[in-house]
Structure 1
Amino acid sequence: MQKKYVPLYKPNQLILGTGQIAVVSGWIDKGAIAKKLEPEEFAVIGQLYSAISGINYIIRNLLYNPHVRHLVIVNATEEDNNSGAAKCLLHFFRHGFEPHKRNNAPDSDCWKIISKTVGYIDKEIPFENLQRLRESIECHEKISITEAVTLIKELAKKVEKTPEPEWATPITFPLIETVPTIFPGERYGHRIEGKTIAETWVKLVHRIKTTGVLRPTGYDGQWQELINVMAVVTNEPADFYFPQPNYLPMDRQYLEQYIPYILDDVPYYREGIKYTYGQRLRSWFGRDQIEQVIEKLIKEIDADSAVMNIWDSGCGNLFSRPDGASDHEFPGSPCLNHIWVRVVDEEILLTGTFRSNDIFGAWPANAMGLRALQQHIRDQLARRSKYDLKMGPLITISQSAHLYDNTWETVDQLIAEQYPQICRKKDYSDPAGTFLIELVNGQIEVQQQSPIGETVFRYSGSNPLQLATQICNASPAILPLHIAYLSIELQKASECLKANHHYIQDK
């Protein structure tokens, strides 16, 4: 029986066929499976990155296409294991679901899939419809493209020989979509700093979720986006910090599998992957750029030209694509484009520039991979030269820093649980220095000292607002909490001056 699959949701994310077998390819490129099949052998092929909302759309589309009788789930990659989305979908069919309240909030009823990975289905879909769906579709799991394609072809022949009737009439249910609350803020040029990657990540997520601009994506959805976001990680430990309990979207096992994708020259780790960053750095352009940077710094430790490039502009390079085509012409072009290494004050720092950065799902692994590269270069310099450098900051510049709409609910929960705790860990050090306030000869005098205690400037006056303005104008990078503290102290000093009272800072 041939019938066109009709997707009500996310149609631009799907490859459509005329068969009775739906395929979920997980993190594997759906095109890598489609090119091995004929359209009549499958009904639809789509990817699944997140269990939180991705499964909800799959369920809704299947309810509208009851001619689908088989579901093949490809659970093949480290990313699939890390996200758990493929397993969660499998568990819906094998273990079922139960009533639940998201974040224990009122009016947040939903169905929760019985799985270790959190996955929700809208409460608007009745229990009996979900149960009938589970009973009517046979679910299969495969761990490679080859195994999946073999099974799909076998099932297609079986269905062609003995067509299976539709198990219900097409049905749809209202979809209620939430619109995030967005506070006013800068669109361009943000700087966020944290001691660890985990801390910096929560701050990044909070900034984008609260002030990011809503924009449509090319994938039938929305994201919240900020332009040109700089993240500075100052003290990530050598063995990496994973919070307990771990709220990062990855664990140590995943990290161990991910780091070689940046450090090593292995062109294809698995089917469906076009390239790795390590391949781009080690051999894509006919030279080992990591080795070049190490040699550059050995010869010229103060060089500002220790640069690695990942973007392929074509330009007829014989060592890149055989046809000389550029990354502009292909989908799935690299998100990480440029890496810069610099030695400053006997510290090695690394800056990675991303054209597009999924901050929730990808940034933590990206940052840890770059930190591993930074450590590798430092260690090689120590082994092969006289330079035994300290690890300086890791900096990422995300030209498009965004959160996809299918993560918003999880992001809200992360912010509610972790952001207040991070804010309570106050660090009063400020690169702008410290400010000592006194009353001298009927005036408020403010002495600005550098972080090492040197007096760099003195401000004097009787108007606290004017003094605060002068200080902020002279030191525009002063931390916001420091500005608030100064304003309070200057106002106290002003009141003491008017009342002829003795003023003592912080009293």
Structure 2
Amino acid sequence: MQWPICFGDLVDVGDLNNSVGVVTLWTKKEFILRHLKPEQYALVGQLYSRHEGFNALLRNCLANKNIRHILVVGVDLNKAGDALISFFECGVDENHSVKGVNDVIIDKEIPLTSLDNLRKHVKVYDYRSLKDFSKLSSIVNELENLGSYGEPEIFPITKQAIPDTYPSEKSGFVVRENYIGEAWLHILHNIMKFGFIKKSQYSDDQRELLNIVSVIEKEDPDNPKFYEFFKFTKEDLFNYYPQIISGDSIKGIEYSYGQRLRSEKDVDQIQIIIDILKKTLYTRRAIAVTWNLEKDISSEKPPCLILVHFLVQNKLLYMTAFFRSNDMFHAWPLNAFGLRKLQFTVAKEMDILPGSLTIISNSAHIYKQNWTATQDIIIQYNPKLKMLGDQRGNLIIRLVDGKIIITHTGPEGKVLDSFTGKDAYYLYTELIKKKKVSELSHAIYLGTELQKAVIALEKGIPYVQDQQLQFI
């Protein structure tokens, strides 16, 4: 048997008959190894994960029962050290959950009897507070070499389960696209991947994200870019517009957003906003609300759209809308088109061009009855990766006189700034600190180009941005 059985390429192996293992957590194992000799340990390795890495450590220990002492040192960024120490001190319950810590589960394939036996014969030592690693050698030398406590045990690897939802930012997901259809695909994908599953007030579970911020740049509501995956026709869309832009009552509808914005209590908030903006172009008070405190605080059907806010900047009319609750499968696309139509209507009255539309959907959700249909759309019309086009400008990378030079130009090509260095890490951290990148695809692209530039610099070969390196 080859040992270690897990992550053998990531750990440092010493004397397989030694009884000491050293876990360095998030501290680089090289900082520890410089103070120890190979004959002083069986294995030295880092431990990043409270799940995969933690289980791998236990499997390695059970596969080599010469290990009787585990020293835990280093920086414990994600509390993997807490999990390890709690396992040895408190054990596990019948569900394989480590006692004393939250959300740490040991693989079900490892029997509880084997785990109890491991805890009985192996001792863990908490040296996370140790700063002077040179003391480790004398600490290790004082440990008794106890010998093996049994035959190696190897268990089947756990099959990877697909989680119901993936870790995420929890709140604040920005989707920026030119057109509503493109944005909708990304919104659906985000909710199905990261949405928290919870109950709703309509007897149906929901996947929910908090505060999806969608920015629409170019959509023309009078000549919409239409996609076959929309759940409505162009006729449906144009018939919907009055629900947003008109204050008239609509047959079959209890009330519309347009009524709340344009005729509630005989007040046309939108016209007032137009008049205010015409008089004071720089005002920050051009806000219209749909919420009626007297009616809505206890209503069973309060409005989902709460407010719209208009601002003029650089001779463009920008609009922001806030939804307290937004059905992102059925309602959001129509809402977005309707709000864009409202923005265009106000802009036309003011004789000004529209800027982007921003929609903040506080509770952005998809009901369970629509999950399958949503997933089908995502699979069939996979959201496209936005390739570059960063609105903060372009970054041009060159090699000059043995250094990497990054020139920052604006979208129109004007030079704004420059950075010089030889180290990719230094350069990309400078770009991050100076807020030079906004697009994820642009950031990843720059990382690959900077690494190419570093390799070219080290090898003494030419570097040309966007071209493969030519090794001679």
TM-score by length of 2: 0.62
Structure 2 residue aligned with 1:239: 222
Match of 1:329 among 286, 298, 302: 298
Q: Secondary structure at the match of 2:281?
A: coil
Match of 1:189 among 169, 172, 176: 172
Q: What is the Cα deviation at residue 442 of structure 1?
A: 2.1
2:344 maps to a residue whose letter is Q
Q: Secondary structure at the match of 1:356?
A: strand
**1:457-472 alignment to 2 at 5 Å?**
457-472=417-432
Structure 2 residue aligned with 1:400: 363
Structure 2 residue aligned with 1:202: 185
Q: Determine if contact 1:430/1:479 at 8 Å carries over to the other structure.
A: yes
1:405 maps to a residue whose letter is K
Q: Determine if contact 2:189/2:378 at 8 Å carries over to the other structure.
A: yes
1:376 aligns with 2:345: yes
* 1:6-55, Cα deviation, whole Å (9 max, x unpaired): xxxxxxxxxxxxxxxxxxxxxxxxxxxxxxxxxxxxxxxxxxxxxxxxxx
Q: Determine if contact 1:198/1:241 at 8 Å carries over to the other structure.
A: no
CA change 1:180–1:408 in 2 (3 A) is farther
Q: Determine if contact 1:359/1:403 at 8 Å carries over to the other structure.
A: yes
1:346 aligns with 2:315: yes
1:187 maps to a residue whose letter is K
* 1:295-317, Cα deviation, whole Å (9 max, x unpaired): 11111122221110111112xxx
Q: Secondary structure at the match of 2:265?
A: coil
CA change 1:446–1:476 in 2 (3 A) is closer
* 1:160-213, Cα deviation, whole Å (9 max, x unpaired): xxxxxxxxxxxxxxxxxxx97422221111110111111111111111111111
Q: What is the Cα deviation at residue 236 of structure 1?
A: 0.6
Measure the CA separation in 1 of the matches of 2:241 and 2:257.
Answer: 10
Q: What is the Cα deviation at residue 486 of structure 1?
A: 0.8
Q: Secondary structure at the match of 2:382?
A: helix
Q: Secondary structure at the match of 2:438?
A: coil
CA change 1:180–1:464 in 2 (3 A) is closer
Structure 1 residue aligned with 2:324: 355
1:285 aligns with 2:254: no
Match of 1:452 among 389, 408, 412: 412
Q: What is the Cα deviation at residue 242 of structure 1?
A: 4.6
Measure the CA separation in 2 of the matches of 1:347 and 1:239.
Answer: 18
Match of 1:230 among 210, 213, 230: 213
* 1:317-338, Cα deviation, whole Å (9 max, x unpaired): xxxxxxxxx3110111000000
Structure 1 residue aligned with 2:63: none
Measure the CA separation in 2 of the matches of 1:427 and 1:492.
Answer: 19
Q: Determine if contact 1:336/1:352 at 8 Å carries over to the other structure.
A: yes
2:348 maps to a residue whose letter is D
Measure the CA separation in 2 of the matches of 1:435 and 1:448.
Answer: 5
1:253 maps to a residue whose letter is E
Match of 1:498 among 452, 458, 465: 458
Measure the CA separation in 2 of the matches of 1:477 and 1:353.
Answer: 27
Q: What is the Cα deviation at residue 495 of structure 1?
A: 0.8
Measure the CA separation in 1 of the matches of 2:364 and 2:263.
Answer: 28
Measure the CA separation in 2 of the matches of 1:380 and 1:437.
Answer: 46
Aligned pairs, number:
307
Q: Determine if contact 1:215/1:223 at 8 Å carries over to the other structure.
A: yes
* 1:332-362, Cα deviation, whole Å (9 max, x unpaired): 1000000011221121121111000001110
Measure the CA separation in 1 of the matches of 2:343 and 2:379.
Answer: 32
Measure the CA separation in 2 of the matches of 1:357 and 1:258.
Answer: 17
1:215 maps to a residue whose letter is K
Structure 1 residue aligned with 2:230: 248
Measure the CA separation in 2 of the matches of 1:351 and 1:226.
Answer: 19
Q: Determine if contact 1:472/1:478 at 8 Å carries over to the other structure.
A: no
Measure the CA separation in 2 of the matches of 1:476 and 1:313.
Answer: 44
Q: What is the Cα deviation at residue 481 of structure 1?
A: 0.9
1:409 aligns with 2:372: yes
Q: What is the Cα deviation at residue 457 of structure 1?
A: 2.2
Structure 1 residue aligned with 2:146: none
Structure 2 residue aligned with 1:391: 354
1:350 maps to a residue whose letter is M
* 1:421-473, Cα deviation, whole Å (9 max, x unpaired): x33xx443112211111222322121112222222222222211221122122
Q: Secondary structure at the match of 2:293?
A: coil
Match of 2:392 among 432, 436, 441: 432
Q: What is the Cα deviation at residue 477 of structure 1?
A: 4.7
Root-mean-square deviation over aligned CA pairs: 1.9
Match of 1:441 among 385, 401, 417: 401
Measure the CA separation in 1 of the matches of 2:242 and 2:339.
Answer: 11
Q: Determine if contact 2:179/2:225 at 8 Å carries over to the other structure.
A: no
Measure the CA separation in 1 of the matches of 2:438 and 2:344.
Answer: 31
Q: Determine if contact 2:210/2:363 at 8 Å carries over to the other structure.
A: yes
1:263 aligns with 2:223: no
1:378 maps to a residue whose letter is A
Q: Secondary structure at the match of 1:354?
A: strand
The structure with more radius of gyration: 2
Measure the CA separation in 1 of the matches of 2:339 and 2:189.
Answer: 22
Measure the CA separation in 2 of the matches of 1:478 and 1:260.
Answer: 36
Measure the CA separation in 2 of the matches of 1:411 and 1:476.
Answer: 35
Q: Determine if contact 2:323/2:362 at 8 Å carries over to the other structure.
A: yes
Q: Determine if contact 2:453/2:463 at 8 Å carries over to the other structure.
A: yes
Q: Determine if contact 2:209/2:363 at 8 Å carries over to the other structure.
A: yes
Percent sequence identity is 31
1:305 aligns with 2:285: yes
Bigger drift between 181-190 and 484-493 goes to: 181-190
Measure the CA separation in 2 of the matches of 1:238 and 1:248.
Answer: 15
Bigger drift between 218-227 and 363-372 goes to: 218-227
Structure 1: which 5+ residue stretches go unaligned?
Answer: 1-178, 315-325, 383-388
Structure 2: which 5+ residue stretches go unaligned?
Answer: 1-161, 468-472
* 1:128-187, Cα deviation, whole Å (9 max, x unpaired): xxxxxxxxxxxxxxxxxxxxxxxxxxxxxxxxxxxxxxxxxxxxxxxxxxx974222211
Q: What is the Cα deviation at residue 419 of structure 1?
A: 2.2
Measure the CA separation in 1 of the matches of 2:178 and 2:438.
Answer: 18
Q: Secondary structure at the match of 2:230?
A: coil
Q: Secondary structure at the match of 2:309?
A: strand
Measure the CA separation in 1 of the matches of 2:250 and 2:440.
Answer: 47
Q: Secondary structure at the match of 1:340?
A: strand
